[in-house]
Structure formats: C-alpha cells, structure tokens
Structure 1
Amino acid sequence: MDMNIDSRIFKEDLEMINLSHYIDWSKLQNKTVLITGGTGLIGSTVIKALLYVNEVRKLNVCVLALVRSVEKAKRLFGNETDALRFIVGSVEELPTIVEPIDYIIHGASPTASLFFVNHPVETIQIATMGTMRLLMLAHTKEVGGFVYLSSMEVYGAPKEDTLIPESQGCTLDSMSVRSCYPIAKRQCETLCASYVQEYGVPAKVVRLAQTFGPGVERDDKRVFAEFARNVMNKTNIVLQTAGTSKREYLYTADAVTAILTVLLHGKTGEAYNAGNPETYCSISEMAQLVAEEITGKKINVHVAEDTKSGEYKFPPAHHLHLDVSKLTNIGWQPTRGLKEMYKRMIAEMEERL
C-alpha cells in the first residue's frame, strides 16, 4: 500500500474504520469513488480510510481525488496507484472526468472564519458553483450515491441547550458577512434536494459538528488547533471571545464512518446530523479541559481584554447541541470523546515534528 502513513495513531484509526461493522463494505466492491477536497482534513482521512480498507478487504476500489496541488497530494498519499488517481482542479472550474463514477463525496470548502469574512464572495462562489457542478456530474454519470458535507452552522445561533433535530430551521442574519458560509451551506443543501426532485440524483447531506483529530495542520487557525499549540508550546490560552458558545465536536475517524454510513445506508434526499453529544460544551469549558486535563494545570486560561474587535470573525454566540439519533438509528456510533480527541491530535502533531 503506497500511502504516507507512518503514524501509529493514524493506523489505529484506519483499522477502527475498517472494523466498523455497520458499514456494508461490499457495496464498494469494484466501485469508483470521487472525493472533492481531497487534501483537506476530512477529505484526506476519507481517502486514506478507503485505500486502507481496499487493501485489507481486496475491494478493487478506485479513488479519484480532486486536488488543487499534486505536490500536497503526494505528500499525503504518496504516488498514484491503480487504487488512487489525482484529478487536478477545483470544484468551481471542474475539469473533465472521463472515468465512470459510482459514488461522490463532496467535501471541498473553505473552513477558516477569517477566510469567510475576508473573502465572502469567494466563499459563496466555491460552495454554490462547485456543488451545482458536482451534482450535474452526478446526474451525468448516473452515480449510485452522492454525499454533501454540510455544517452544524446551518442552524444559526440557537440560544437554548435543547437537542437540535434535522428538521429545525435557522436563525441566520443574512446581512452579516460572516453568514456567507452557513447560508451558502444551506443553499447547497437545497441544491441537493432540488437535484433529487428534478433529476433523481441520489443525494444526501451530512451536517458535521466541528471536526478534528490526527491530520490537523500545526498552523491551522481554528480554535481547537490554537488550543493544541498552547499545549505543545506550554503557553496560556487567551480566548478571543467570552467563550460562551456551546457546540458538539467530532473526531476525524468518526466523521469518516458517519460519511460512509450516510453514503451507503442513508436515505436519498435526507440530511443527517453527525456529532458526539458527549463532547457538548462551551468554548471556555473546552479551554479549561485542555489546560487542566491535557496539561495537568500547567497552563492557564484568560479572556482577552478586547474581545469586541475580533467578534466579526466568529459566528454569533450559539448553542449547537445536535440530535444524532437519526444517524445512530442506521448503525453509526461515535467513538472518541473530547479529551481523547485532543490527546490523539497533539500526539500525531508531535510525531510529525
């Protein structure tokens, strides 16, 4: 298997995915799977998982990875093989794909809040144009399944701790620039539903909680990566907001099994929440967990003196407690809690140093 997987932690995660009994791997036998966002955190983990399972189970799967940079793709996966092909391009300007395609996992998307507020037009363009092109490709290729990776942010900013089912609406301010990301995600979900209705494309949606674990780049600007760097550098955590927002989180390998479960067993035209309810906490509570339980109280948590100037970069205060029963009812289960997520992410980061 020509993959760049030297990490013990990654290997454990890939074997956990392989042993997920609720996934019918036989449905991937002799199939071709197109994955967009192939060098992103989630996309790359999906690709590594499929290549690993393909090798172990002799499935004869072919993965087509849509990537912007072949160099980065080779660093992550090694060279192309019979089981892995690189397609260079973007979802907005989708290159011609001559191969037959059986499944599509569409995960290409900006993920950084600073990008959303500095490039809101591009955020919307990448989401909507890219998703429409992928859905039309799915229609043309007559795929057997299509999964769009959406976000828990589509629910906006609920104020209560009550569980959020997939049927719940949203409270998004369309005149707030930061809303470009979740509103574009909602638009893409509606595009999926529209292609189901009008063209019969077997599209499904996974609304992911904030996902992290092994594979996070050390210079990632998201809050969980900031906290990890604080641990590794033994520096105090400084919150840029009051940290009152509460949300669920999801381990990378658990995100992969959620995506594959929906792809192979989910109902066409439906959305599925994916998060670990046991991780539900405020950002300040997560910071305290990192400071106290990961470092053994070796660092402290402070709130920045000026939290107003940077608030535009972040979503409004919210309580995103996802009800994941719809997904667990078709077999899926999360495996890693917040403490383990941090320990495994940091350990894998240190392995790469």
Structure 2
Amino acid sequence: MKQLQRQSGTRRDEDIPISQTSLYSPKALKHPKSLSRSISYLLKEQRLLFILVGILIGSTFFILQPSLYHLSSGTHNHLIARSNSFAGNRESITYYDHNGVMETNSVENKNNYKYHNGGRVPVGIGRKRKRIVVTGGAGFVGSHLVDKLIARGDDVIVIDNFFTGRKENVVHLFGNPRFELIRHDVVEPILLEVDQIYHLACPASPVHYKYNPVKNIKTNVMGTLNMLGLAKRIGARFLLTSTSEVYGDPLEHPQKETYWGHVNPIGVRSCYDEGKRTAETLTMDYHRGAGIEVRIARIFNTYGPRMCLDDGRVVSNFVSQVIRKQPMTVYGDGKQTRSFQYVSDLVDGLVALMENEHVGPFNLGNPGEFTMLELAEVVKETIDPGAKIEFKPNTADDPHKRKPDISKAKELLNWEPKISLHKGLPLMVTDFQNRILNEDEGKGNK
C-alpha cells in the first residue's frame, strides 16, 4: 500500500509542468526613451517655438497687469470725481406714480458716498448681494424700502396680505428678476431662505388698527413670533419696526429711547401701543435667549408718496382734504405737536440700522416739531392758500406732544433726517393729486 502511494505521488509530481512550479517573475520593463528622442520630439514641427512664445506672452501679461490696474482705477476715480463735481452735494429722490412713471426730485445729501482707492464711490458698489424678505412690503414705507434694496442690487421677497398695502405701490417692480411678491398673512407661519428680515407688517394708522383691534394684536404678537421663529431657524438678521406710540402720551419731552412710556393699557389705541411694546419684548427675548441678531427701530410720524389717502393720519388727512376742496379737520385746540419725517429719510435709517451692529432701540424721526395749526398753514401754502380749517373734539388718548431725541442714532448710526417738511411735502402733494384727481382713488370718501 505504501508503495502504491509512493508511486502515485511520484507520478503526480512528474506530470506537473516545470513552468507551473517555477516562481512568478514580472515582465521586463521597457527601457525609457532616450534623451535624444525627447529632444527630437520637441524640435519636431516647431513645438519648442510654440512653448517659448507661450511663456513670453504669459510673462508679458503678469508684468503689465499691475500698471493696467492702476491706470483703470485712476480713470474710474477721475470719472467719479467728475460726476460728483457736476452733481454737487445733491441726491435724487425717485418714486413712481400710479402709472409706474418715475418721477425724480433733487435734495441735498452729502453722506451717501464712501472713499475707496482715492475716489468717491456710491456705498452700494462692491457689496455682496443679499436675499431679503420685507413683510408689509407693499405698504407705504415698505414699498419705498423695497425700492432702495432692489436699487442697490439685493434680491427682495415681499410678503403682504394687502389689508393696507397696495399692488400699485410695487407694480413697477413686476417682471424684475430680483423681486418676488407673496400674498400671505404673517399671522400664519411661512418658510423661506433669506439673509435678512425687515418686519413691517402691521396696520399703523388709527383708522386701520381700530377697525379690527384683535387682529392688530394678533399681527403684532403672532406675526412677530412667526418671523422671529423664521429668523431663528435660518440664522437671519431680524429688524422690527416699532413705533413712537410705545411712549404713549409722554411725560418726557423730547422722548429718549430710555423712556419707558406713559401708555393706557386698556384704551382704544392700546391694541397698537401695547401690541408694539409686546413685539419689542419678544424681539429682545429671542435675542437674549436664542442668540438671534435683532434690530429695533421706533418710527415717528412719516409722510410721503404712496400713503393711504384716508388713513386718519394728520398729514394725509390735511393734504387729501385740501385737494378735495374740503376744510382741514383739526382735533382739539390744534396745539398738539408732532414731528414729521420724509419717507426716504426713514428708509435710509432702517437700512443703516440693519447694516450696523447695534441692537437698539433707536428713535427714527425728524426732531422738527410742529403744532397741528402750524402744519395746516404749511399745507395751505403748498396747495391752496384759501383752504379752511374746521375744529372738532379731540380723540381719546391722543398724545399732546411728540418729538424724538435722535442723538443715539446720530452717534451710533451716523444717521439724521435731511429733508425738511417744506421740501418733502410738495413731493407728497404731487402723488396725492395724481391719485385723487386722475384716478379718483377714495372717491367714496368725498
């Protein structure tokens, strides 16, 4: 048996070819090309000449590039300086009438430029484009803010339920690829991806917020909560437009941001006054508790094109009544005081606050103070010297004095209003005349 095994084993070894038993050896590598073959390849068809020409062109470009940059920069700054010398220190205020026709008026402005490489360049140049949502963006102030943001190159989403806002205020932006309009009530949540949130949504005139006080409170509370929640979710910077009404009928004059106010919490105006105070509380609690970047602006009386014709505010009331040949209605003795800022000044303040690093609150208003009778005289001078005045009993909780202290905004935001009432009021009158006389807007209120 052992012999059979030995014989079979021997035969098995003999049957295996020698090539299978030998160790694997890799295939011999080819010899690399010789130096002479490489040189001949470069010389063939003038390849070396093309390589040298390419190196020469590239070297010339990098040598001349700095001088070309300085030359173009100097020419650019020269052109800017020439354009500024022609323009002087004046700024064009542009707005659109009800037909979308652009109207331009010139006012003084010296702070809308910054120095760059030796020349004066508009502030908006060279900045990163942002995606911004403006709640209430079809309203009076909101539409002017949207115009400014679009003009400087941002993408803007307007959210508005059109209770007081009007499509006519933003119709000139329809078709602009950087503008979007969403019909939505901020009382309901919404999901968006943006960098900044300007929260303006809320009826701000007595006629409108007294129409549905509970809805106004919901807008101030639930609407602000929803937009703060959105800011927290996506990491956006949030700006709340509060109001000088948080000061109520003030015992301090002029009013500073440190003043806590004198508000009737159960009065007919409290839905707006206390609603905004609650909105400020929510904003600060989100800032302290959730680390949200927030800004708070307290807006004083503002006027300008696109105001609602019959919103109960004193400027729009007086202008509408005089254009319609009606007597101006003065409540009480007419000695109550207000301050009036033109809408473009307010928009500049809002943008300055959003782009700054200070939370606020900041008073944004014109410290020029007028009694109602003095305002009536300015309106008469502007529209019709023969206009009449009619006195009626004063409304409840109407503040006797209202004047902002804007020293904080001047120091930290480098902002102050530029347009006086005598310069701004004619711009508003032109807009109101077009809408009342040509379109008969608000005809039923005559």
TM-score band (shorter)? 0.7 to 0.9
Using structure 2 for the length normalisation, give the TM-score: 0.68
Alignment correspondent of 2:147: 48
CA 1:183–1:67: 2 relative to 1, 3 Å:
same
Give % identity.
25
Counterpart amino acid of 1:36? T
Are 1:155 and 2:247 an aligned pair? yes
| TM-superposed deviation, 1:164 | 1.4
Alignment correspondent of 1:337: 420
Unmatched 5+ stretches in structure 2: 1-95, 115-121, 439-446
Distance 2:211 2:383 in 1: 34
- In the TM superposition, what are the counterparts of 1:2-41 in structure 2 within 5 Å? 5-9=100-104, 20-21=112-113, 25=124, 29-41=128-140
| TM-superposed deviation, 1:316 | 2.5
Using structure 1 for the length normalisation, give the TM-score: 0.85
Out of 190, 198, 201, the residue aligned to residue 108 of structure 1 is 201
| TM-superposed deviation, 1:215 | 1.6
Distance 1:27 1:195 in 2: 32
What do the CA deviations read for 1:236-256 (whole angstroms, capped 9, x no partner)? 212133333212111111110
Which runs of structure 1 show a deviation greater than 6 angstroms over 4 or more consecutive aligned residues? none
What do the CA deviations read for 1:275-305 (whole angstroms, capped 9, x no partner)? 1112x112222112222x224622122313x
Are 1:326 and 2:408 an aligned pair? yes
- Which gives a bigger RCO, structure 1 or 2 (Cα 8 Å, sep 6+)? 1
Are 1:121 and 2:214 an aligned pair? yes
What do the CA deviations read for 1:213-257 (whole angstroms, capped 9, x no partner)? 112233443221111113323332121333332121111111100
Distance 1:192 1:86 in 2: 25
| TM-superposed deviation, 1:320 | 1.6
Distance 1:243 1:253 in 2: 27
Root mean square deviation, CA, Å: 2.6
| TM-superposed deviation, 1:121 | 1.1
CA 1:205–1:131: 2 relative to 1, 3 Å:
same
1:156–1:318 CA contact under 8 A, matched in 2:
no
Q: 3-state SS of the aligned residue for 1:346?
A: helix
Distance 2:263 2:311 in 1: 26
Distance 1:179 1:53 in 2: 37
1:237–1:300 CA contact under 8 A, matched in 2:
yes
Out of 377, 380, 386, the residue aligned to residue 298 of structure 1 is 386
2:336–2:399 CA contact under 8 A, matched in 1:
yes
CA 1:94–1:238: 2 relative to 1, 3 Å:
same
| TM-superposed deviation, 1:201 | 0.8
Out of 359, 366, 390, the residue aligned to residue 276 of structure 1 is 366
**Larger deviation: 166-175 or 109-118?**
109-118
1:155–1:172 CA contact under 8 A, matched in 2:
yes
CA 1:193–1:327: 2 relative to 1, 3 Å:
same
Distance 2:335 2:158 in 1: 38
Counterpart amino acid of 1:146? F
2:302–2:346 CA contact under 8 A, matched in 1:
yes
Out of 57, 67, 72, the residue aligned to residue 167 of structure 2 is 72
Unmatched 5+ stretches in structure 1: 55-60
1:231–1:294 CA contact under 8 A, matched in 2:
no
Alignment correspondent of 1:57: none
| TM-superposed deviation, 1:146 | 1.5
What do the CA deviations read for 1:44-101 (whole angstroms, capped 9, x no partner)? 11011111222xxxxxx2101112259826853342432111222111013332xx21
| TM-superposed deviation, 1:325 | 1.2
Count of residues paired in the alignment? 329
Distance 2:218 2:294 in 1: 20
What do the CA deviations read for 1:189-218 (whole angstroms, capped 9, x no partner)? 111111110111111111111111112233
1:209–1:275 CA contact under 8 A, matched in 2:
yes
| TM-superposed deviation, 1:12 | 5.4
CA 1:115–1:74: 2 relative to 1, 3 Å:
closer
Counterpart amino acid of 2:244? M
2:248–2:399 CA contact under 8 A, matched in 1:
no
Alignment correspondent of 2:325: 234
Distance 2:270 2:307 in 1: 24
- In the TM superposition, what are the counterparts of 1:57-96 in structure 2 within 5 Å? 61-68=154-161, 72=167, 76-96=171-191
Counterpart amino acid of 1:318? H
Q: 3-state SS of the aligned residue for 2:338?
A: strand
Alignment correspondent of 2:264: 173
- In the TM superposition, what are the counterparts of 1:218-257 in structure 2 within 5 Å? 218-257=309-348
1:43–1:107 CA contact under 8 A, matched in 2:
yes
